[in-house]
Amino acid sequence: MNDAAYLCLADGTQFEGRALGAAGRTVGEVVFTTGMTGYQEVLTDPSYTGQLVTMTAPQIGNTGCNPQDEESVTDRPHVAGFIVRDASDRASNWRSEETLSAYLTRHGIAAISGIDTRRLTKHLRDGGAQNGAIGTDAPETLVRIAREAPAMTGQDLVARVTPSRPYEWTEGSGDWCPEKLRGLSDEGTTRHVVVMDFGIKRNILRCLVDSGCRVTAVPATTSATDIMTLQPDGVFLSNGPGDPAAVTYAIETIRQLLGQRPVFGICLGHQLLALAAGAKTYKLKFGHRGINQPVKDLATGRVEITTQNHGFCVDLDSLVGKAHSTHINLNDGTSEGIEIPDSDAFSVQFHPEAAAGPHDALYLFKRFTDRIDRARSS
């Protein structure tokens, strides 16, 4: 599509560009991610549910799209819309099976290209993430739609992406297995990990398998009793979208699970673990999204470069007396990890599985399996 299109923000700011992908209009929270690569992983990460995602890298789509880079277990994009500066109409990569435009059209995702994404990103950094609408309608119509859309705070978006029933996951990374995880899995492995699926990425599941786990994923609404009936050796809390404080049912389940089995949480799972411990969360001005976020491990002093995608954060002050802070973000000092020693539970705000991104924090999967092994032998 080459029709004129608009991105209009709730504050009245307008950007004119060209329609990309599916026809129609869409609305959601406008955010940005700074990753230079990994646009298909962004499109298919369930954590982006309800959001219009801006890529700050100027040219997007030049390597096309393929089934191998899907991060959703449902094989579909989850973004509400997509915003790029220059959408490549050519795809050049040995794994590519279709262009970005064809991919977006096939999945019904409305997008826009040709806008000044640098200006948009600076606007969001100054004013904060806000609702916006993409479409070929008159700008005043799109502004009204953006203003009428619900704010991200208070929304339980996990309900949109969590599975309707439990499922087993057996796929590892195969030939693509990172060196840090290679050799951790073997055919005799009997560790059983139950994953609370709040909108999990495939590569997290693959990393658990690569680490020597038998994986059963369950819906977010699964009770603590039903989880323990599955006889897990450990419980994993996945990433996911929306406001963690709105997912009250999962918070209560996690609270009941604490102390029964080792627990490891990532991203939304980190926030939910903190809430279950009695801490608080709040919304960041524009969030952390990208594959180059520096994080400091407070125990070792080691700095890791991490992949992140979140708009909410754990309140560090509220952790006092409830959990220990283990990692902080070096850009703004916000929470990046906690531990609850008495409950054998820990979590991180970033994504150690990458996809896309660096592998600095892959050791956390082994930390989880080591805790499982110690708990089983005690």
Q: Cβ contacts of residue 74 below 8 Å, gap of 6+?
A: none
Give the pLDDT of residue 189: 66
**What DSSP designation does 201 have?**
B
Question: Does residue 18 sit in helix, strand or coil?
Answer: strand
Tokens 């054998």 locate to: 344
Q: Is 207 a catalytic residue?
A: no
d(CA 215, CA 213): 6
How much is the average pLDDT of 201-208? 96
Distance from C-alpha of 98 to C-alpha of 297, rounded to nearest angstrom: 41
pLDDT per residue over 267-320, tens digit each? 999 999 999 999 999 999 999 999 999 999 999 999 999 999 999 999 999 999
CA 288 to chain centre: 11
Amino acid present at 124: L
CATH 3.50.30.20 positions along the chain are: 4-148
Which of 194, 290, 295 is closest to 236 using CA atoms? 194
Tell me: the pLDDT tens digits for 230-255?
A: 999 999 999 999 999 999 999 999 99
Average pLDDT over residues 362-366: 95
Can you give the pTM of this predicted structure? 0.96
CATH class, range 4-148: alpha beta
Q: What angle do CA 339, 201, 335 make, to 5 degrees?
A: 30
Average pLDDT over residues 193-213: 97
Among 207, 213, 267, 313, the active-site one is 267
Task: Evaluate the CA torsion angle 92, 113, 350, 369 in order and state its sign.
Answer: negative
Q: Which residues pair with 236 in a beta bridge?
A: 195, 264
Q: In this structure, what DSSP letter does residue 319 have?
A: G
Q: What is the CA radius of gyration of the chain?
A: 20
**Catalytic choice (78, 270, 288, 351):** 351
All CATH 3.40.50.880 domain ranges in the chain, comma separated:
158-377
Query: Which single residue is written with the structure tokens 């903190």?
Result: 274
- If you average pLDDT over residues 72-87, what whole number do you get? 96
* Buried/exposed 47-81: b ≥16 CB within 10 Å, e otherwise: bbbbbbbbbbbeebbbbbbbeebbbbbeeebbbbb
Q: Look up residue 57 and give its DSSP letter.
A: S
351 as an active site residue: the answer is yes
pLDDT score of 175? 82
What's the CA dihedral at 352, 357, 358, 361 to 10 degrees?
-10
171 in catalytic set: no
Confidence of residue 1 (pLDDT cuts 50, 70, 90): low
Q: Domain 158-377: what homologous superfamily? A: Class I glutamine amidotransferase (GATase) domain (3.40.50.880)
CB-CB contact of 157 with 242 (8 Å): yes
DSSP 316: G
pLDDT tens digits for 104-143?
Answer: 999 999 999 999 999 999 999 999 999 999 999 999 999 9
The catalytic residue among 29, 207, 353, 359 is: 353
Distances from the Cα of 111 to the Cα of 38, 104, 152, angstroms: 17, 8, 20
